[in-house]
């Protein structure tokens, strides 16, 4: 029996639909319930698409999934797939250790070391908080003065996980493009005054600062998602007058947009990461793809228009497909069970 968290969005509805259609024994559980472990007694697996902006998930999802995995239960996502989720700082050390092609990144834990680096380095650089999605916590740093201002904030009052003004401007942009409703726009206006619960829970980001080299000349980024031995990709165009692609809402899907080299690289990296499901965001530097971040989770609506997928032998399968069923298959396939 597979337990699926009672989530209303993300992968959850897709998992339930596939289980029902294929008579896969499953049960819906509430992962926030005090008797979760009892609820799971007749289950061999738990699937939970926890999210970076759900306050309860931030508090406890990783701990619950790690505990269950340690007890021998199959989980999605498992430890290797998600310890680094929404943690760009953790990803830096992981990708460097595995010698994966990762954009040059810099992390500092004292103002002195950061300032001495900022005095000597070249600009522009990219400043990121360790968490965040849709480009919200990613900024271009044009010069030393801005870098030092950022460093002083990071080692002073810190940064909020929710950029009120930036988020409102982004909502306004999406509203004008008819990508969000007036209600969503109004909610965003309200959040100028009342910060969202998730950022309240996360508190301020302080005591570290994280930069990357700015890789110029990209009008897009490429996201390749690898789930077990299958991969699919999307190309996201940057916002007008901006260098940031993720969350722009301008997505392209044709197969010809994706170089085989980048797909092979993603398969290879996924194997090294030992992940069940992982999305790689790439930009190009002088024709070579570099990873800028990784993430186990993604929003299904951005991928519905994908036109096909590759297997790890680089065979192409044209047509619609159901990546959420592949995640479920992992829970049924002995080959991918993470041994204790």
Ligand X SMILES: Nc1ncnc2c1ncn2[C@@H]1O[C@H](COP(=O)(O)OP(=O)(O)O)[C@@H](O)[C@H]1O
Q: Which residues bind Mg ion (CB under 5 A)?
A: 246, 281, 293
Of 148, 140, 96, residue with least CA distance to 120: 148
* Cβ neighbour number for residue 242 with a 10 Å cutoff: 11
Shortest distance in whole angstroms from residue 81 CB to ligand X: 17
Shortest distance in whole angstroms from residue 155 CB to ligand X: 22
Nearer to ligand X, 73 or 89 (CB): 89
Nearer to Mg ion, 246 or 270 (CB): 246
Shortest distance in whole angstroms from residue 106 CB to ligand X: 11
Is the N-terminal amide bond of 124 cis, ω within 30° of 0? yes
Which DSSP state fits 68? H
Among 130-138, 252-260, 267-275, 320-328, the segment contacting ligand X (CB under 6 A): 130-138
30 vs 41: CA distance, rounded Å: 14
296 vs 75: CA distance, rounded Å: 13
Shortest distance in whole angstroms from residue 33 CB to Mg ion: 32
Nearer to ligand X, 69 or 105 (CB): 105
297 vs 49: CA distance, rounded Å: 7
Residue whose beta carbon is closest to Mg ion: 246
Residue 134 contact among Mg ion, ligand X, none, beta carbon within 5 to 8 Å by kind? ligand X
Shortest distance in whole angstroms from residue 138 CB to ligand X: 4
Shortest distance in whole angstroms from residue 101 CB to ligand X: 13
Four-residue CA torsion sign, 332, 86, 281, 187: positive
140 vs 52: CA distance, rounded Å: 23
249 vs 251: CA distance, rounded Å: 6
Q: Does 132 bind ligand X (CB under 6 A)?
A: yes
Q: Which of residues 234-263 bind ligand X (CB under 6 A)?
A: 238, 243-246
Among 18-26, 113-121, 176-184, 207-215, the segment contacting ligand X (CB under 6 A): 207-215
Q: Which residue stretches of 177-322 are H helix? A: 182-190, 197-202, 260-273
Residue 231 contact among ligand X, Mg ion, none, beta carbon within 5 to 8 Å by kind? none
Of 137, 289, 280, 170, residue with least CA distance to 218: 289
Shortest distance in whole angstroms from residue 105 CB to ligand X: 8
Over the range 120-142, which residues count as b (16 or more CB within 10 Å of their CB) and which as e?
eeeebbbbbbbbbbbbbbbbebe
Longest Cα separation, the chain? 62
Among 135-143, 256-264, 312-320, 328-336, the segment contacting ligand X (CB under 6 A): 135-143
**With CB under 6 A, what is the number of residues at the site for ligand X?**
24
Q: Which of residues 209-238 bind ligand X (CB under 6 A)?
A: 212-215, 218, 221, 238
Q: Which residues bind ligand X (CB under 6 A)?
A: 103, 126, 128, 132-136, 138, 212-215, 218, 221, 238, 243-246, 281, 283, 292-293
């Amino acid at each position: 029996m597979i337990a699926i968290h009672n989530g209303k969005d993300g992968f959850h509805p897709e998992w339930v639909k596939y289980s029902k259609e294929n008579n896969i024994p499953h049960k819906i559980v509430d992962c926030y319930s005090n008797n979760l472990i009892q609820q799971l007694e007749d289950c061999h697996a738990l699937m939970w698409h926890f999210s970076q902006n759900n306050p309860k998930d931030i508090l406890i999802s990783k701990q619950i999934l790690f505990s269950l995995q340690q007890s021998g239960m199959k989980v999605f996502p498992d430890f290797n797939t998600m310890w680094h989720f929404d943690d760009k700082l953790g990803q830096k050390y992981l990708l460097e250790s595995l010698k994966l092609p990762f954009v040059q990144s810099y992390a500092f834990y004292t103002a002195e070391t950061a300032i001495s680096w900022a005095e000597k380095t070249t600009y522009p650089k990219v400043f990121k908080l360790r968490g965040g999605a849709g480009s919200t916590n990613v900024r271009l740093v044009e010069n030393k003065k801005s870098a030092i201002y950022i460093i002083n904030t990071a080692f002073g009052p810190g940064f909020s996980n929710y950029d009120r003004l930036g988020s409102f401007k982004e909502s306004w942009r999406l509203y004008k493009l008819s990508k969000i409703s007036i209600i969503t726009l109004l909610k965003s206006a309200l959040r100028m005054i009342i910060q969202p619960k998730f950022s309240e829970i996360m508190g301020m980001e302080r005591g570290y600062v994280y930069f990357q080299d700015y890789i110029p000349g990209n009008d897009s980024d490429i996201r390749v998602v690898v789930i077990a031995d299958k991969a699919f990709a999307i190309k996201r165009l940057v916002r007008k007058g901006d260098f940031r692609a993720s969350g722009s809402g301008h997505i392209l899907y044709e197969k010809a947009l994706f170089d085989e080299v980048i797909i092979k690289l993603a398969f290879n990296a996924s194997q090294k990461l030992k992940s069940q499901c992982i999305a790689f965001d790439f930009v190009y530097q002088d024709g070579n793809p570099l990873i800028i971040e990784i993430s186990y989770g993604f929003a299904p609506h951005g991928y519905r228009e994908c036109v096909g997928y590759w297997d790890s032998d680089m065979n192409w399968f044209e047509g619609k497909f159901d990546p959420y069923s592949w995640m479920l298959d992992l829970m049924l396939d002995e080959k991918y069970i993470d041994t204790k």
